[in-house]
Structure 1
Amino acid sequence: METGLRRIHVTLAGLLLAASASFANIACAQGDTTIDEIISPDLERREIREAEIDSEDFEVTVYWGGIMSVEDFGSNRMIGGSLAYHINEDFFMEAAYAQTELGESSYERLSGSAPLLTEDERDLSLYNLSLAWNFLPGEIFILDRWALNSNLYLIGGIGNTSFADEEYFTYNVGVGVRMLTKDWLTLRFDVRDHIFEHEIFGEPITTNNLSAQLGVSIYF
């Protein structure tokens, strides 16, 4: 008799466990469906394609808008270009050339005397070799519609400035920003100080000559 009761108890216990498991599975399934219905968002994701710099290492730049202020000779339009080699993501080397035309010096304007320089001597040209560091990569947003990858860089180097039939050893230091519109095309804006010494007014003086230029670059 006791053996029969034990078998009945074991059977009932097994049935209860099976029923509990089935009920738990049903509840979980219903719960998952309810949670999905509550928190599942119906969002249309927008695809954003940002321009990334091309894998090529060379960059040629044409400065189509620029101005150079030569100490004591005023500010005048400057044109030029450069060729850069990107060593890695952080550094690049650049060879640049530019030219402008000097205005009248402050001495000529105030004294009213004969010009210090002839027309040909007022043609100023400069070239330099510089090393730049991309120190602040980031993004520039335009009208909340376009996101352009960008790089702020510091640049400095040495070169030569030629005017008044003389050559002057020149240092240049500056800062610039590059904005990538395509993976092969960028916009650049540079501000630099060209430092050299001359003796046009009789005594050696060290001058700081600022330039600002806007250009377009192509990678190849």
Structure 2
Amino acid sequence: MKSLYRWMVALCLMAPVLSRAQSTSEEEEAGDVSEVDKDRMGPLRDRVRPVSGHVFLKKGRFEFSPSATLSLRDAFFTKYIFGGTLTYHPVETIGVSLRAGYALNAVSGAAQICEFGDGDTRGCVSPKLEDLDGDAPGQIKMLGGVDVQWAPIYGKLSLLAEKFVHFDLYGVVGASAVQYRGPDLNDQTDTLAKNYLTPGGNVGVGMRFFFNRWVTLRTEVRDLIYVEKGRNENFLRNQLLFELGVSFFFPSSNPES
């Protein structure tokens, strides 16, 4: 009887110790789960989010893009071309475009008219527009054409690990119609000028930066190639053009969304 009493006393004394051990084990397990929850719901997940897939889709949409274009490295005229482009994207990476533009010409800062006498240069002055009208190459009046775009690269740029700017990179090639001003070859006085229309081609690269699902910023660099008539010979022209425009896509939401 005394032995049974001793065992009961011993169990009563050990009960608090066992209870504290079980409580400690549960707290440790709960602590592990809490740390996992912190990682899953913590501020780091809100700051750095996974990015995958295309936010902006072009397939089945029209793109209307008013633009301004500046000629680069022109010896006689600096052209400011204002126009627009209408593009249809039958698939995600291919686009077919119609474009047109009207050009305003200003005399390039590099242009000079020099007088010579007795083998020496008497002096050089900056010409006026009427001094070069029809005589200097590169006096473009209007542009038009049909292009094909190929956009194989779609990417994302991280800004401070919180926001992403989506973009695509594309190449463009096409046929052009160029109206330029040149000498009137039927004028015997060699003083009159007239407008000519000639075919040409162009090749270039461009990028789009997506603001949202229907507005983008578009930049292009093109090489325009065509032939101009001169009084004594024809000139093959390679004109570099830098274009900046804003594109609006229709319908305004992605067809797949």
User: What letter is aligned with 1:129?
Assistant: V
2:230 and 2:75 map into 1 onto residues whose CA distance is 11
Out of 131, 135, 140, which is 1:115 matched to? 131
TM-score by length of 2: 0.63
1:85 corresponds in structure 2 to 88
CA separation in 1, counterparts of 2:73 and 2:234?
16
Percent identical residues: 22
CA RMSD, aligned part only? 3.3
Runs of 5+ consecutive residues of structure 1 not aligned to the other structure: 1-25
Shift of 1:32: 4.4
Change (3 A) 1:93 1:70: farther
Q: Is the 8 A contact 1:51 1:181 kept in 2?
A: no
My pick for the range that moved more, 65-74 or 208-217, is 65-74
Instruction: Please report how far the alpha carbon of residue 144 of structure 1 lies from its aligned counterpart in structure 2 after TM superposition.
Output: 5.1
CA deviations on 1:25-57 (whole Å, 9 max, x unpaired) are x8xx84743532454425034286995246651
Work out whether residues 96 and 148 of structure 2, in 8 Å CA contact, stay in contact via their aligned partners in 1: yes
Question: Residue 124 of structure 1: CA displacement?
Answer: 1.2
Partner of 2:42: 43
Q: What displacement does 1:115 show?
A: 3.2
Task: Give the structure 1 partner of residue 56 of structure 2.
Answer: 52
Q: Identify if the C-alpha distance between structure 1 residues 195 and 46 changes in structure 2 by more than 3 Å, giving closer, same or farther.
A: same
**Aligned equivalents of 1:99, 1:154: Cα separation in 2:** 23
Check conservation: 2:59, 2:89, Cα contact below 8 A.
no
Count of equivalent residues: 191
1:178 to 205, 208, 211: 208
Q: Which residue of 1 aligns with 2:217?
A: 187
Confirm or deny that 1:102 pairs with 2:105.
Answer: yes
Q: Is the 8 A contact 1:156 1:173 kept in 2?
A: yes
- Which runs of at least 4 in structure 1 moved beyond 6 Å after TM superposition? 47-50, 105-108
Distance 2:196 2:248 in 1: 34
Deviation, 1:122, is 4.7
Is 1:154 equivalent to 2:171 in the alignment?
yes
